[in-house]
Structure 1
Amino acid sequence: MPQFFQSPFGRLSTASEVIDGVELSGQRAIVTGATSGIGVETARALLAAGAEVTLAVRRPDAGEEVAADLRKRTGSDAVRVSHLDVADLDSVQAFTAAWRGPLHILVNNAGIMMPPGLERGMRGHEQQFATNYLGHFALTLGLHPALAEAGTARIVSVSSSGHLYSPVVFDDLDFRFRPYDALAAYGQSKTAEVLLAVEADRRWSGEGIRANALHPGAVATNLQKHTGGLRTPEPYRKTIEQGAATSVFLAASPLAEGVGGRYFEDVAEAPVVDARPTAPGVPGVAPYALDPANAERLWDTATGILR
């Protein structure tokens, strides 16, 4: 494995391009948040390549509409819909308890971004941290036996360049002592998603399970409903097909085999930066998001929360 991973693809590559020629018959995938945007395109690409895809969604009625459309677009009937609300621990536990058989690909894609006021969710924790991280942590942990059963499996955590706005503040995860800041809370949750991939890869790579995180790029989706829409300058924006490319590459490309514990953007490993960039482009990854001590501490913290 190269010290710094590159691929033949780039910022404008699409999900279809990065998976062209890849055969996923016999593989099973779960994509959370697959009722709109990048989640739908990720599911479409995996389904078109032959995978059996489960749309794990909060609104099954919307999921069934997406599934019907995907069947028409891909010609594959190997898509199913299951209820999953990653903001609800009971829902997560019911989903993992019901899963049967191996799981080859888990794409942790669902999330929320910057609700206007402080809200508390799972076990009383700040809503973005609870939804974006804790729910996916519980899901990933609950599906570990299925991932191990697959023999080789991949976990993909959809993070964001927003992680550059905050590390995980272990002494005040839930803004009980500091003023609530929606962007800082979002940044913390997205840093946590990177750390989930780092620690899952460390713990489970020996079982054939590899995990990576990514920034999909600036893509106009429902995620921005609380922020007034996408504010990235037009030349740096991506289509949904381009935004899903890195997720699909990490989930399925043979070129990413054996790669783990890393953070990607534009279908390549992102450079580590020592400060948040002030100009748009390739933002990079903060060192605190890849720090193994932070990753282990967060895993242990989350385990205690869910116990």
Structure 2
Amino acid sequence: MNNKAKFLIAFVCFYLPLQLSYSAGAVWDYQQREQSALEQVKNRIALDLPRLSLPNERFHIMGNPEAIVAYLTELNAYLAEHDFGLRVTQLQKVTGKAPGSAMIASHTFHLVTPDNHVIGQVVFEPLAISAHMSLWPILIAGLLLWLSRQHVMRWRAPDHESHSVIEPVIPLVLQLNLKDKTLVNSITEQAVPLANKPLCFYIALLEYCLNNKDVTLNQNKDVPIELVELANKYFYRLVELGHTVRKRPNFTNSLEKTLSEIRAALDEVLAENPEEKELYYPPKAHGEGSRSKLHHYGLNKVLEEHFEIIGR
């Protein structure tokens, strides 16, 4: 944040409370002046009542409306000349001439005498917008800014990195469950069933590649004996766990079909974590020469913490 922005923010922080306080004071002063002016006008009318011919329902007196209008005109002229912020518009339901300037809502007042109850109405001049404004808040804010300039220049932008809560990243673990013959995503808990042959072969493939990082498994070559033995071991484990099986499958036959079933199950179990497919996915053969020596289905990037075999 540059110094210009710092000083601007600091000035606004100083100015706004001062300006709001000044405006609130102006409104309070306006209301006090309204009340004081109203009391003075009521006193003036009370003194003039004996010479006014006002209607009086108690004594059935009609009064002299023309004289009352003339009185209101004279009174309002006096109020305007002496900067009173109000005008008297009505006495005893006799309405005078409309005030020349814009006025706000009227106010009813009462004068009670031994022989009459006088009701009148006044309207007030609105508080001008300019009355809310003053140079004082600007000058005081500028002075405060100057006095605090050294402190303002030392402001620093908040260090978001130091205050942000770093949520731990939970690594995905592919769970291979021999008890219910499923692949399970440890994060989403998505479970996908897998047939005996592809399940046993995939578990064996993971374990074999974990122990043989540099091995190349070509589809145009025989499946390594060690890999087949591992697959057979997990197949016999399925039998021990009580799963009904017809006969031990031949893990060297229909290799591409077995790999396709494994990939289909991984597509489903890793649907919400597609970035993890490269780690667990036996590579596909693509295009011309896909079965060449360059293509293999090994999992060279897999580590022990990437998968868990349940029921082994």
Higher RCO, Cα 8 Å, sep 6+:
1
Give the TM interval when normalised to the shorter protein: under 0.3
Normalised by the length of structure 2, the TM-score is 0.21
Normalised by the length of structure 1, the TM-score is 0.21
Larger radius of gyration: 2
